[in-house]
Structure 1
Amino acid sequence: MKPLLFKVPTVDDRSFRVQIDTGAHFFQRLHFHPEIQLTLIKEGAGTLVVGDRIDRFQPYDLLLLGANVPHVLLNDPAYFEVESSQKVIAYSFFFKEEILGDIFIKCPELAHVAELLREAAHGLRLKCTAPNGLTERFEKVETQRPFEQLMTLLTSLDGLILSQDCERLSGTAYKQPSKPVDHRRLENVFNFILTNYANEITLENIASVANLTPHAFCRFLRTHTRKTFSQLLNEVRVEHACRLLRDSTHSISQIAFACGYSNLSNFNRQFKQVTGMAPRDYLKKTG
């Protein structure tokens, strides 16, 4: 088992790291790191997990993830097909708040950015949906001088603050990492659910994955995600159902069964509880 703590390569003479990810898919393990991460997704789609939030990511999402916030970008199954033409591209900044701390302390003009970085403990997202001035700066970052890259970082953070559409992702704020064994358990639980959501998963099954008794597992999950097991499982299933409703021609009942629901009425009820609307209404809205 690889540790959940992810080591971000450092640049000795720089206060931040610029990273450009390209390939068939993103890193597929739930992980965290002490650096704050600002990422623009240019290409790629799938399931987004940030803290206790399970959602969808898509091109031109801009993510700000605070230090030690658990996260993963899980690409859709199509990205793993043998002859798939799908690919991913993302532009990221990694930096530690204390490295830029003196700037924020001494410059009143940057006090709002310091506040944004504190809010990043929950994870933040801005859905750009299409290219704009902010995303175009990211796409030029590879050829920029270090000073220009720093300006891109600061203006991007400022853009997040100014946007009315910037949303908080996780209900839980992450500041200090808990015990490594808890991170490994949480990673195992998420990976198991994300892999087996279409099958029946009992409380006993998932508790054994975490090597806990059912009672201890429920307490563990509530502590780390503020969710019950059934809430977490339903959110994963409904997120995949939303994708199938948007992207496939299957009927609602076929999608319900494909996402692990044994009857349509329960699927409709759970779908509405998570999304606030019935599957048919969702289909009309996104179709």
Structure 2
Amino acid sequence: MNVLEFTIPVAHDQSVIVQEDAMPYFYPYLHRHNEAQLIWILEGEGTLIAGTDIHTFNSNDIFLLGANQPHLFKSNPDYFSAESNKQIRSVMVFFNPYGNLAPLFQLPEMVSLLAFIRQHSGGFKLPATYVTAVSQLILAIQTATDAERITRFIELLTNLYQFNSKFTPLSAAALTQVSENEGIRISNIYNYVMHNLDKAITLDDIAHKANLTPPAFCRYFKKHTGSTFITFLNQLRVNEACKKLTSGKDEAVAMIAYGCGFNSITNFNRIFKDVTGVSPREYLNHYKGNY
């Protein structure tokens, strides 16, 4: 995966950095940074791309993103409307276990926590059961100062370590280093696709957006993402369909299928099952059974 390098605003007197954002929508480019990032989404909905994998995010979700892991929190299309009064709010904890904190993690007592961080270099989503406890620890770090902040940070990691068996990686994709221009080009492709999921997207269209011929685009996309463009497009469309199926609006399955860019119900059902392992109806029944 090739991505835009991004340097967070670093407080030189802090090894654990807490940042709170309130904006119309999330930062719109695929990027990565040296720091691992624990993010608590207080308000906002959309699609998370982590490595080469696609996930849905909602208010009160908590994710860990590994150091140098490519990611993009893409707010839903309605956040970009000129008439929108929506906003996103999040609190993030940034830390670099191989930077200023390296001496801390070299202590014998920290071996298990460093192993935990390395184990989850592909990131994870925190199960809902633990959100209340972890969000309180994030707030404690945010209000702490000096040495107390490190103490609270270790307490946070210790709690996450205790929940370890419940986590599923967000992504296992390998990472490569690329130029800023390449990262922006990939981001622009992703942005175009996510803003036009409800429309027919031809290979000619997307290749033109990338200033490539269709054969060259196919090679480029596969090389830089590890996935074919059609696979990526289908995953995004199915992810959008899953969000609509579980939105509580009781839209007809056919309307959801066409609204996510599928040209027939048969095609939608086949691709949905290929991506999720179940039919749209089975997916919805399973979701309702958990609530």
Contact kept? 1:26, 1:74, Cα under 8 Å: yes
Residues 203-222 of structure 1: matches in 2 within 5 Å? 203-222=203-222
Secondary structure (helix, strand or coil) at the match of 2:126 reads strand
Of residues 12-21 and 59-68 in structure 1, the stretch that sits farther from structure 2 once superposed is 59-68
Does the CA-based 8 Å contact 1:60-1:130 persist in structure 2? no
Q: C-alpha offsets along residues 126-176 of structure 1, whole Å, 9 cap, x if unaligned?
A: 2335643222121333322233332332232333332222121113133x5
Counterpart residue number, 1:268: 269
Q: Match of 1:94?
A: 94
Aligned Cα RMSD in Å? 2.3
2:115 corresponds to which residue? 115
Tell me what 1:250 maps to.
Answer: 251
Runs of 4+ in 1 over 6 A off after TM superposition: none
- Any residues of structure 2 matched to 1:112-191 within 5 Å, and which? 112-128=112-128, 131-163=131-163, 164-174=165-175, 176-191=176-191
Gaps of 5+ in 1: none
The structure-2 alpha-carbon separation of the partners of 1:121 and 1:180, relative to structure 1 and needing over 3 Å to count, comes to farther
Looking at structure 2, the residues matched to 217 and 109 of structure 1 have their Cα atoms a distance apart, in angstroms, of: 50
How big is the shift at 1:178?
Answer: 1.9
Greater shift in the superposed pair: 243-252 or 148-157: 148-157
Is residue 6 of structure 1 aligned with residue 6 of structure 2?
Answer: yes
What CA distance in whole angstroms lies between the structure 1 residues aligned with 2:101 and 2:238? 40
The corresponding residue for 1:277 is 278
Evaluate the alpha carbon distance shift between residue 231 and residue 69 of structure 1 in structure 2; reply closer, same or farther with a 3 A threshold: same
Q: Provide the rounded CA distance (Å) in 2 between the counterparts of 1:30 and 1:280.
A: 32
Query: 1:33, CA displacement in angstroms?
Result: 1.9
Structure 2, gaps ≥5 residues long: none
Residues 64 and 186 from structure 1, CA distance in 2 versus in 1: closer, same or farther, beyond 3 angstroms?
same
Distance 1:179-1:77 versus aligned 2 partners, 3 A rule = closer
Q: CA deviation at 1:120?
A: 4.1
Q: Tell me how far 1:215 sits from its aligned partner.
A: 2.9
Aligned 8 A contact 2:16 2:149 in 1: no
Distance 2:197 2:78 in 1: 17
Amino acid at match of 2:235: E
Separation (CA, whole Å) in 1 of partners of 2:112 and 2:219? 37
Q: 1:6-56: CA deviations, max 9, x gaps?
A: 231111212232101124432232222222212122332211111101111
* CA pair 241-142 structure 1, distance change in 2 beyond 3 A: same
Q: Structure 1 residues 152 and 62, CA, compared in 2 at 3 Å: closer, same or farther?
A: farther
Measure, in 1, the Cα distance between the counterparts of 2:182 and 2:38.
25
Q: Matched residue of 2:5: which SS? A: coil
Change (3 A) 1:20 1:204: same
Does residue 33 of the first structure (1) align with residue 33 of the second (2)? yes
1:217/1:119 CA distance change after superposition, 3 Å: farther
| 2:260 alignment counterpart | 259
SS at match of 2:239: helix
User: Deviations 1:233-279 (Å, cap 9, x if unpaired)?
Assistant: 00110111111111132200011100001100000011111111111
- Residues in 2 aligned to 1:127 and 1:217: alpha-carbon distance in whole angstroms: 38
Report the secondary structure of 1:178's partner residue: coil
State the SS of the aligned residue for 2:121.
helix
Distance 1:43 1:147, change over 3 A: farther
Contact 1:5/1:32 (<8 A) preserved? yes
State TM-score, norm by structure 1: 0.89
Cα distance, 1:95 vs structure 2? 2.5
8 Å contact 1:4–1:183 — kept in the other structure?
yes
Of stretches 188-197 and 110-119 in structure 1, the one that deviates more from structure 2 is: 110-119
* 1:195 Cα deviation from its structure 2 partner: 1.0
Partner secondary structure for residue 138 of structure 1: helix
Q: Quick one: which amino acid aligns to residue 35 of structure 1?
A: E
Please state how far the C-alpha of 1:65 moved relative to its aligned partner.
1.7
Tell me how far 1:63 sits from its aligned partner: 1.9
CA contact (8 A) 1:122 1:173 kept: no
